[in-house]
Amino acid sequence: MTDLRTPPVNDGDLFSERARQYALEKPLQRIHILEAGCGWGAGLDLGDRDCLVTGVDLESPELRAHTCERPDLDEWHLGDLRTVPMPPRAYDIVHATYLVERVPHAELVLDRFVAALKPGGLLLVHLRDRNTAFGFLDRHLPRWMHASGRRRKSRPARAARGAHARVPAESPAAGPVEDAAGGMADAAVPPPAGTAVALPDAPDARGATDGRERPAPRRERRRVPAAEARAGRARRLQPPPAIYDRVASRQGMQWYCVMRGLMIAEEYTSRQAIDALGAGTGLTDLLCRLVSAASRGRLTADHSDVTLVIRKPENRFARVI
């Protein structure tokens, strides 16, 4: 369908660049963005372009805490992604990073995202591929083994940041940020001891103590520069465990786009999760190659992540949701 390539930049910059290009095509239009997975990661950088950002994600205390801390969201809804509010044909861009593999009923959730897109809109997806050696290990290894790999990575990283980096004072509980070292391992450092984190019954959680999704009140949005967002890597939340529905793979997404009449404009593969979890030791890469050899190449060790830029057709006679 498309050639597999290595992204020219990290996925966060790639998606922001494609979003800015889309905004240039609509010079007089306010850009509506759906941040799918707002409890984990960072948003798109559209510069000074006027936009309205809505976040959706699963319900959990950790995801709610990070969502409450995000300055770029105009409103947000947490809960079952099959039922949270998503008006049809309301959004220009749907940004879903590390979400497809960690939600149940992923195909139905994708259907809702596509239905919420305007004709000609962009669906920006980054996911860990279940049909890889890394995906196999991620599904079958105990969670504590994932955490041990992240701790090995975090120690030297924290030491380096302590000498050369600053964490913005106004973001005391900065959440995870997607970058070129993203993936399962790159979001593993929990907030330091003593850091105040917004929980569902805390005053700054907007009174949402019943666990039900609801929009956040409008507030002044502060655009976070890319450098400042990357500085927030010092304090991260561990993402929810991946579920890996069948659509959460390169082949699964290709099949989904064909069946829904969507066009994959760009497709890239990367080793982000493998390199991040390896923590410089090469252990994860070795395990992935052993799994690949045992499966006779059916589970590849050449990549772990897939990045897709998908466009919904403009033609009203095309097969769209």
- Cα-based angle 23, 28, 31 (whole degrees, multiple of 5): 45
Question: Is residue 177 one of the residues assigned to a domain?
Answer: yes
Predicted pLDDT of residue 11:
54
Question: Is residue 316 one of the residues assigned to a domain?
Answer: no
- Residues shown for the chain: 321
Count of domains forming the chain: 1
Predicted pLDDT of residue 74:
94
* E strand or H helix that includes residue 106: helix 106-116
Cα 202 off chain centre by: 26
Cα 11 off chain centre by: 10
- Residue 126 phi/psi, 5° resolution? -130, 130
- In this structure, what CATH number is given to the domain that contains residue 45? 3.40.50.150
Predicted pLDDT of residue 277:
75
Q: Please tell me the distance from the alpha carbon of residue 69 to that of residue 65, in angstroms, as a whole number.
A: 7
Question: Is residue 61 one of the residues assigned to a domain?
Answer: yes
Question: Is residue 88 one of the residues assigned to a domain?
Answer: yes
Q: Please tell me the distance from the alpha carbon of residue 146 to that of residue 238, in angstroms, as a whole number.
A: 11
Question: Is residue 2 one of the residues assigned to a domain?
Answer: no
Q: Is the pTM of this model over 0.85?
A: no
Question: Is residue 173 one of the residues assigned to a domain?
Answer: yes
Q: In terms of residue numbers, what domain contains 243?
A: 11-311
- DSSP assignment of 166-177: ---TT-TT----
- DSSP assignment of 268-291: EEE-HHHHHHHTTS-HHHHHHHHH
Question: If the chain, 321 residues long, is cut into consecutive pieces of 10 residues, what is the mean pLDDT of each piece?
Answer: 46 86 92 93 90 94 90 93 93 95 94 96 96 92 54 40 36 37 38 40 42 47 46 46 92 96 95 76 86 94 95 72 49
Question: Is residue 320 one of the residues assigned to a domain?
Answer: no
- 8 Å CB contact between 216 and 75: yes
Tell me if residue 8 falls in helix, strand or coil.
Answer: coil
Predicted pLDDT of residue 142:
74
Question: Is residue 181 one of the residues assigned to a domain?
Answer: yes
